[in-house]
Structure 1
Amino acid sequence: MRATMSVFLLGLLFGAGLVISGMTQPAKVVNFLNIAGSWDASLAFVMGGAMGVNLIATRLMPRFNAPIFGGAFALPTRTDIDPRLVGGAALFGVGWGLGGFCPGPALVSVVGGASEALIFVGAMLGGMALFHLADTTVLAPAKPAVEAGKA
Protein backbone atom coordinates (compact mmCIF):
# COMPACT_ATOMS: atom_id res chain seq x y z
CA MET A 1 0.00 0.00 0.00
CA ARG A 2 2.84 2.35 0.87
CA ALA A 3 4.53 1.74 -2.49
CA THR A 4 1.28 2.31 -4.37
CA MET A 5 0.62 5.54 -2.50
CA SER A 6 4.13 6.82 -3.19
CA VAL A 7 3.79 6.02 -6.90
CA PHE A 8 0.43 7.82 -6.98
CA LEU A 9 1.79 10.90 -5.19
CA LEU A 10 4.91 11.05 -7.37
CA GLY A 11 2.70 10.73 -10.46
CA LEU A 12 0.60 13.65 -9.25
CA LEU A 13 3.75 15.68 -8.63
CA PHE A 14 5.07 14.82 -12.10
CA GLY A 15 1.74 15.73 -13.72
CA ALA A 16 1.58 19.00 -11.80
CA GLY A 17 5.11 19.80 -12.96
CA LEU A 18 4.11 19.17 -16.58
CA VAL A 19 1.11 21.49 -16.25
CA ILE A 20 3.01 24.25 -14.42
CA SER A 21 5.91 24.13 -16.89
CA GLY A 22 3.63 24.40 -19.92
CA MET A 23 4.49 20.99 -21.37
CA THR A 24 0.75 20.27 -21.74
CA GLN A 25 0.30 23.27 -24.06
CA PRO A 26 1.04 22.14 -27.64
CA ALA A 27 1.55 25.72 -28.88
CA LYS A 28 4.24 26.33 -26.26
CA VAL A 29 6.04 23.11 -27.24
CA VAL A 30 5.84 23.87 -30.98
CA ASN A 31 7.18 27.40 -30.33
CA PHE A 32 10.06 25.88 -28.35
CA LEU A 33 10.91 23.65 -31.30
CA ASN A 34 10.52 26.50 -33.83
CA ILE A 35 13.99 28.03 -33.52
CA ALA A 36 13.69 29.99 -36.79
CA GLY A 37 10.29 31.50 -35.92
CA SER A 38 8.74 32.62 -32.65
CA TRP A 39 11.11 30.65 -30.44
CA ASP A 40 10.11 30.21 -26.79
CA ALA A 41 13.20 29.12 -24.86
CA SER A 42 11.40 28.62 -21.53
CA LEU A 43 11.11 24.84 -21.96
CA ALA A 44 14.91 24.64 -22.12
CA PHE A 45 14.92 25.57 -18.43
CA VAL A 46 12.36 22.84 -17.72
CA MET A 47 14.55 20.28 -19.48
CA GLY A 48 17.65 21.58 -17.75
CA GLY A 49 15.94 21.23 -14.38
CA ALA A 50 14.85 17.68 -15.22
CA MET A 51 18.39 16.79 -16.26
CA GLY A 52 19.73 18.21 -12.99
CA VAL A 53 17.32 16.14 -10.91
CA ASN A 54 18.16 13.05 -12.96
CA LEU A 55 21.89 13.65 -12.56
CA ILE A 56 21.57 13.85 -8.78
CA ALA A 57 19.27 10.80 -8.59
CA THR A 58 21.59 8.76 -10.81
CA ARG A 59 24.57 9.62 -8.62
CA LEU A 60 22.69 8.74 -5.41
CA MET A 61 21.19 5.48 -6.69
CA PRO A 62 24.27 3.28 -6.12
CA ARG A 63 24.07 4.07 -2.38
CA PHE A 64 20.79 2.13 -2.20
CA ASN A 65 20.35 -1.60 -2.73
CA ALA A 66 16.74 -1.14 -3.85
CA PRO A 67 14.16 1.63 -4.18
CA ILE A 68 12.98 2.98 -0.82
CA PHE A 69 9.45 1.63 -1.23
CA GLY A 70 10.38 -1.81 -2.59
CA GLY A 71 10.93 -3.52 -5.89
CA ALA A 72 14.15 -3.25 -7.85
CA PHE A 73 15.82 -0.54 -9.88
CA ALA A 74 15.05 -0.90 -13.59
CA LEU A 75 18.24 0.23 -15.29
CA PRO A 76 18.97 -0.17 -19.00
CA THR A 77 21.43 -2.90 -19.88
CA ARG A 78 22.12 -1.97 -23.50
CA THR A 79 24.53 0.81 -24.34
CA ASP A 80 24.77 0.46 -28.13
CA ILE A 81 23.15 2.83 -30.59
CA ASP A 82 21.33 0.82 -33.23
CA PRO A 83 18.97 1.75 -36.08
CA ARG A 84 15.90 0.95 -33.98
CA LEU A 85 16.99 3.44 -31.31
CA VAL A 86 17.75 6.16 -33.86
CA GLY A 87 14.51 5.48 -35.75
CA GLY A 88 12.47 5.55 -32.55
CA ALA A 89 14.09 8.80 -31.45
CA ALA A 90 13.42 10.35 -34.86
CA LEU A 91 9.80 9.20 -34.82
CA PHE A 92 9.39 10.59 -31.29
CA GLY A 93 10.84 13.95 -32.35
CA VAL A 94 8.67 14.20 -35.46
CA GLY A 95 5.57 13.30 -33.46
CA TRP A 96 6.48 15.81 -30.76
CA GLY A 97 7.07 18.55 -33.32
CA LEU A 98 3.91 17.89 -35.33
CA GLY A 99 1.54 17.21 -32.45
CA GLY A 100 3.06 19.34 -29.71
CA PHE A 101 2.67 16.44 -27.29
CA CYS A 102 4.88 13.68 -25.99
CA PRO A 103 3.38 10.73 -24.05
CA GLY A 104 3.51 12.10 -20.49
CA PRO A 105 2.01 15.53 -21.15
CA ALA A 106 -0.55 13.98 -23.52
CA LEU A 107 -1.83 11.65 -20.80
CA VAL A 108 -2.00 14.52 -18.31
CA SER A 109 -3.91 16.58 -20.89
CA VAL A 110 -6.38 13.74 -21.51
CA VAL A 111 -7.15 13.69 -17.79
CA GLY A 112 -7.63 17.46 -18.04
CA GLY A 113 -10.17 16.99 -20.85
CA ALA A 114 -8.17 18.25 -23.85
CA SER A 115 -9.73 16.74 -26.99
CA GLU A 116 -6.59 17.22 -29.11
CA ALA A 117 -4.66 15.19 -26.55
CA LEU A 118 -7.22 12.40 -26.80
CA ILE A 119 -6.67 12.30 -30.57
CA PHE A 120 -2.90 12.24 -30.02
CA VAL A 121 -3.12 9.43 -27.44
CA GLY A 122 -5.33 7.42 -29.81
CA ALA A 123 -2.78 7.84 -32.60
CA MET A 124 0.04 7.00 -30.18
CA LEU A 125 -1.69 3.77 -29.08
CA GLY A 126 -2.35 2.90 -32.73
CA GLY A 127 1.32 3.45 -33.54
CA MET A 128 2.36 1.29 -30.61
CA ALA A 129 0.05 -1.50 -31.81
CA LEU A 130 1.41 -1.24 -35.37
CA PHE A 131 4.98 -1.37 -34.09
CA HIS A 132 4.18 -4.43 -31.95
CA LEU A 133 2.66 -6.14 -34.99
CA ALA A 134 5.65 -5.25 -37.18
CA ASP A 135 8.12 -6.21 -34.45
CA THR A 136 6.62 -9.67 -34.04
CA THR A 137 6.34 -10.33 -37.77
CA VAL A 138 8.45 -8.25 -40.16
CA LEU A 139 11.20 -7.02 -37.84
CA ALA A 140 11.53 -10.23 -35.81
CA PRO A 141 14.81 -12.03 -36.39
CA ALA A 142 14.46 -15.01 -38.69
CA LYS A 143 14.06 -18.20 -36.71
CA PRO A 144 15.84 -21.33 -37.93
CA ALA A 145 13.53 -23.80 -39.67
CA VAL A 146 14.99 -26.71 -37.73
CA GLU A 147 15.74 -26.36 -34.03
CA ALA A 148 19.18 -27.44 -32.89
CA GLY A 149 19.31 -31.10 -31.89
CA LYS A 150 16.07 -32.04 -33.69
CA ALA A 151 17.49 -32.54 -37.18
Structure 2
Amino acid sequence: MLRTVTAGLIGLVFGTGIAISGMGNPAKVLNFFDIAGTWDPSLALVMASALVVSAIGYHFVLRRPKPVLEARFHVPTGRKLDLPLLAGSAAFGIGWGISGFCPGGAIPALGLGEPSAWIFVGAMLAGIAAARTIRLALEARITQPA
Protein backbone atom coordinates (compact mmCIF):
# COMPACT_ATOMS: atom_id res chain seq x y z
CA MET A 1 0.00 0.00 0.00
CA LEU A 2 2.78 2.44 0.92
CA ARG A 3 4.59 1.71 -2.37
CA THR A 4 1.42 2.47 -4.34
CA VAL A 5 0.80 5.73 -2.49
CA THR A 6 4.44 6.75 -2.90
CA ALA A 7 4.38 5.93 -6.63
CA GLY A 8 1.18 7.94 -7.00
CA LEU A 9 2.69 10.96 -5.24
CA ILE A 10 5.84 10.77 -7.35
CA GLY A 11 3.69 10.55 -10.50
CA LEU A 12 1.68 13.56 -9.32
CA VAL A 13 4.86 15.60 -8.81
CA PHE A 14 6.16 14.54 -12.24
CA GLY A 15 2.85 15.29 -13.98
CA THR A 16 2.64 18.67 -12.26
CA GLY A 17 6.14 19.48 -13.49
CA ILE A 18 5.19 18.48 -17.03
CA ALA A 19 2.07 20.65 -16.85
CA ILE A 20 3.84 23.68 -15.36
CA SER A 21 6.73 23.49 -17.84
CA GLY A 22 4.34 23.24 -20.79
CA MET A 23 5.85 19.95 -21.96
CA GLY A 24 2.37 18.44 -22.26
CA ASN A 25 1.81 20.78 -25.22
CA PRO A 26 3.08 19.05 -28.37
CA ALA A 27 3.53 22.38 -30.20
CA LYS A 28 6.02 23.50 -27.55
CA VAL A 29 8.03 20.32 -27.95
CA LEU A 30 7.90 20.45 -31.76
CA ASN A 31 9.15 24.06 -31.66
CA PHE A 32 12.27 22.78 -29.89
CA PHE A 33 13.05 20.65 -32.95
CA ASP A 34 12.38 23.54 -35.39
CA ILE A 35 15.86 25.04 -35.20
CA ALA A 36 15.51 27.04 -38.43
CA GLY A 37 12.04 28.38 -37.59
CA THR A 38 10.22 28.96 -34.31
CA TRP A 39 12.90 27.36 -32.13
CA ASP A 40 12.02 27.25 -28.43
CA PRO A 41 14.95 26.29 -26.16
CA SER A 42 12.77 25.70 -23.08
CA LEU A 43 12.82 21.91 -23.57
CA ALA A 44 16.61 21.96 -23.27
CA LEU A 45 16.26 23.85 -19.99
CA VAL A 46 13.71 21.32 -18.69
CA MET A 47 16.02 18.43 -19.68
CA ALA A 48 19.10 20.08 -18.14
CA SER A 49 17.20 20.74 -14.91
CA ALA A 50 16.01 17.13 -14.77
CA LEU A 51 19.56 15.91 -15.39
CA VAL A 52 20.96 18.02 -12.54
CA VAL A 53 18.24 16.92 -10.11
CA SER A 54 18.69 13.25 -11.12
CA ALA A 55 22.47 13.39 -10.78
CA ILE A 56 22.21 14.86 -7.30
CA GLY A 57 19.54 12.33 -6.34
CA TYR A 58 21.56 9.35 -7.61
CA HIS A 59 24.65 10.65 -5.81
CA PHE A 60 22.91 10.53 -2.44
CA VAL A 61 20.44 7.67 -2.91
CA LEU A 62 22.93 5.11 -4.25
CA ARG A 63 25.10 5.61 -1.15
CA ARG A 64 22.35 3.99 0.91
CA PRO A 65 22.57 0.23 1.50
CA LYS A 66 19.11 -0.28 -0.04
CA PRO A 67 16.04 1.68 -1.10
CA VAL A 68 13.44 2.60 1.48
CA LEU A 69 10.60 0.56 -0.06
CA GLU A 70 12.52 -2.19 -1.86
CA ALA A 71 14.96 -4.97 -0.94
CA ARG A 72 17.64 -3.81 -3.40
CA PHE A 73 18.39 -1.22 -6.06
CA HIS A 74 17.37 -2.11 -9.60
CA VAL A 75 20.03 -0.29 -11.61
CA PRO A 76 20.59 -1.33 -15.23
CA THR A 77 23.82 -3.24 -15.70
CA GLY A 78 23.73 -3.84 -19.45
CA ARG A 79 26.14 -1.84 -21.57
CA LYS A 80 25.50 -3.64 -24.86
CA LEU A 81 24.34 -1.67 -27.91
CA ASP A 82 22.14 -4.16 -29.75
CA LEU A 83 19.42 -4.00 -32.39
CA PRO A 84 16.46 -3.87 -29.96
CA LEU A 85 18.03 -0.95 -28.07
CA LEU A 86 18.91 0.98 -31.22
CA ALA A 87 15.57 0.27 -32.92
CA GLY A 88 13.62 1.24 -29.81
CA SER A 89 15.63 4.44 -29.43
CA ALA A 90 15.04 5.32 -33.08
CA ALA A 91 11.30 4.60 -32.80
CA PHE A 92 11.11 6.76 -29.65
CA GLY A 93 12.93 9.66 -31.31
CA ILE A 94 10.95 9.49 -34.54
CA GLY A 95 7.64 9.27 -32.69
CA TRP A 96 8.59 12.17 -30.44
CA GLY A 97 9.71 14.30 -33.39
CA ILE A 98 6.55 13.59 -35.40
CA SER A 99 3.97 13.90 -32.64
CA GLY A 100 5.57 16.22 -30.11
CA PHE A 101 4.81 13.67 -27.39
CA CYS A 102 6.98 11.28 -25.45
CA PRO A 103 5.35 8.88 -22.97
CA GLY A 104 6.39 11.04 -20.03
CA GLY A 105 4.65 14.08 -21.48
CA ALA A 106 1.69 12.36 -23.12
CA ILE A 107 0.28 10.73 -20.01
CA PRO A 108 0.02 13.99 -18.02
CA ALA A 109 -1.38 15.64 -21.20
CA LEU A 110 -4.34 13.24 -20.95
CA GLY A 111 -5.30 15.03 -17.75
CA LEU A 112 -4.79 18.42 -19.38
CA GLY A 113 -7.46 17.56 -21.95
CA GLU A 114 -5.09 17.47 -24.93
CA PRO A 115 -7.07 15.47 -27.55
CA SER A 116 -4.03 14.38 -29.55
CA ALA A 117 -2.58 12.84 -26.39
CA TRP A 118 -5.35 10.23 -26.43
CA ILE A 119 -4.43 9.22 -29.97
CA PHE A 120 -0.74 9.10 -29.08
CA VAL A 121 -1.25 7.02 -25.92
CA GLY A 122 -3.54 4.61 -27.80
CA ALA A 123 -0.97 4.21 -30.57
CA MET A 124 1.79 3.80 -27.97
CA LEU A 125 -0.11 1.02 -26.19
CA ALA A 126 -0.82 -0.69 -29.52
CA GLY A 127 2.89 -0.45 -30.40
CA ILE A 128 3.90 -1.91 -27.04
CA ALA A 129 1.48 -4.81 -27.53
CA ALA A 130 2.71 -5.42 -31.10
CA ALA A 131 6.38 -5.31 -30.06
CA ARG A 132 5.72 -7.73 -27.19
CA THR A 133 3.85 -10.11 -29.49
CA ILE A 134 6.63 -10.05 -32.08
CA ARG A 135 9.33 -10.52 -29.43
CA LEU A 136 7.54 -13.49 -27.88
CA ALA A 137 6.99 -15.08 -31.31
CA LEU A 138 10.67 -14.66 -32.18
CA GLU A 139 11.76 -16.08 -28.82
CA ALA A 140 9.44 -19.06 -29.32
CA ARG A 141 10.95 -19.72 -32.77
CA ILE A 142 14.47 -19.57 -31.35
CA THR A 143 13.76 -21.98 -28.49
CA GLN A 144 11.90 -24.55 -30.62
CA PRO A 145 14.06 -27.42 -31.85
CA ALA A 146 14.45 -27.62 -35.62
TM-score, shorter chain, exceeding 0.5 = yes
Higher helix share: 2
Could you tell me how far apart the structure 2 residues matched to 1:9 and 1:61 are?
18
1:23-34 equivalence runs, <5 A: 23-34=23-34
TM-score w.r.t. structure 1 length?
0.87
Match status 1:90 vs 2:102: no
Counterpart amino acid of 2:33? L
* Greater radius of gyration (CA): 1
Q: 1:115: which partner in 2? A: 115
Match status 1:58 vs 2:39: no
- How far off is 1:7 after superposition? 1.9
Q: The residue matched to 1:72 in structure 2 has which SS?
A: coil
Counterpart amino acid of 2:100? G
1:1-151 equivalence runs, <5 A: 1-138=1-138, 142-143=142-143, 145=145
Could you tell me how far apart the structure 1 residues matched to 2:2 and 2:138 are?
43
The runs of at least 4 aligned residues of structure 1 exceeding 4 Å deviation read: none
Could you tell me how far apart the structure 2 residues matched to 1:23 and 1:29 are?
6
In structure 1, stretches of 5+ residues that fail to align are: 147-151
Q: May I ask how many residue pairs the two structures share in their alignment? A: 146
Pick which of 137-146 and 97-106 moved more.
137-146
Q: The residue matched to 2:68 in structure 1 has which SS?
A: coil
| Aligned residues with identical type, % of pairs | 43
CA RMSD of superposed structures (Å): 1.8
Pick which of 11-20 and 69-78 moved more.
69-78
- How far off is 1:69 after superposition? 3.4
Q: 1:149: which partner in 2? A: none
In structure 2, stretches of 5+ residues that fail to align are: none
Counterpart amino acid of 1:19? A
- How far off is 1:74 after superposition? 1.8
